[in-house]
Amino acid sequence: MSATNRANVRGCVGGRNLGRFNWFEDRGPRANEVGIVAQSAGWRVYSTDERAYEQYEEVYGDEEEALADFLKKVRATNRYFARRAERLQGEVTP
């Protein structure tokens, strides 16, 4: 993606039906999600574990950098949970 802006990132996330993210919402973090939030110091990107505890946090002064990191983490999180679901489904015996 050449220009990382809100419209492009939102289109990528929505167009691929990616979940597990918090897109500039004014709420607390939820379990197993990646979030991006605008703050007075810049843009905060975070990810949480199964208890909604933040495992990663980075604050960026540049919105494009924050959006690029957010998108990368949303894609990785969704890949992980898709593969996990496939593994678990393969372990189920009829």
Q: How many domains does the chain have?
A: 1
Domain membership of residue 57 (yes or no) is yes
* Token pair listed for 36: 């991006």
The Cα angle at residue 29 between residues 84 and 9, in degrees rounded to 5: 75
pLDDT given at position 85: 87
Name the helix (H) or strand (E) containing 48: strand 42-48
Would 1 be classed as within a structural domain?
no
The Cβ-side half-sphere exposure at 45, using a 13 Å CA radius, reads 16
Half-sphere exposure of 56 (CA within 13 A, CB side): 15
The radius of gyration of the chain from alpha carbons, rounded to an integer in Å, stands at 15
**pLDDT in the model for residue 12:** 84
Does 34 fall in a domain? yes
Give me the phi and psi of 45, to 5 degrees please: -110, 135
Print the domain residue range for 60: 6-91
Q: Is 2 helix (H, G, I), strand (E, B) or coil?
A: coil
Task: Give the per-residue pLDDT at 1.
Answer: 41
Tens of pLDDT along the chain (94 residues) come to: 446 788 888 888 876 767 889 999 888 899 999 999 999 999 999 999 999 999 999 999 999 999 999 999 999 998 898 888 888 888 765 5
The answer to whether 37 touches 43, Cβ cutoff 8 Å, is: yes
